[in-house]
Amino acid sequence: MSAHESGSKRVQANSSLVREKSAIGWWPRAIAILGALLLAAGAVIALFHPAMLVSGRDEINGAVHIYAGYLASRNLALAIMLVAALLFGAKGMLSNLLLLVALIQLLDAVMDVIEGRWPVAAGVAVLAVLFFIASGSLSVYPFWKIRAWKTH
């Protein structure tokens, strides 16, 4: 085997190793798809039937429609970006988006607890944990390590 053939095989092996390391695994991919679907569903509900977001005794007025529109915008933007990051294989961006979605879910769960919606809070908190774990699995420096917060 010539030196050129040997070098070529090494380059091929290294490039497949890089592709293997940078590929997004099935589990974070599934969590991202789940997140995009839930965010999109929340946006559709907020736009077309905001009464589903509140208790049956709450009034749906103009202010509710305005805030529901903001919720829909936020959710659609995040859903679109999650799907785009998946399609482009942008592992770092996907990790950051999952971290953002996790933090939003965690804060939503806190609001649910404050407002006494215990069954909803538990489910939202579980989703937050799944998004945090998926984000961490995609990152060389997961958010819980100090190195993630310092410039490299």
pLDDT over 90 percentage in the chain: 63
Q: Does any domain span residue 142?
A: yes
Residues 6+ apart with CB under 8 A from 125: 105, 106, 109
Q: Does any domain span residue 17?
A: no
pLDDT band at residue 1 under the 50/70/90 scheme: low
The structural domain count of the chain equals 1
Q: Does any domain span residue 5?
A: no
Q: Which range of residues forms the domain containing residue 91?
A: 24-149
Q: pLDDT, tens digit, for every residue of 30-88?
A: 999 999 999 999 999 999 999 888 777 888 899 989 999 999 999 999 999 999 999 99
> Cβ–Cβ contacts within 10 Å for residue 39, how many?
25
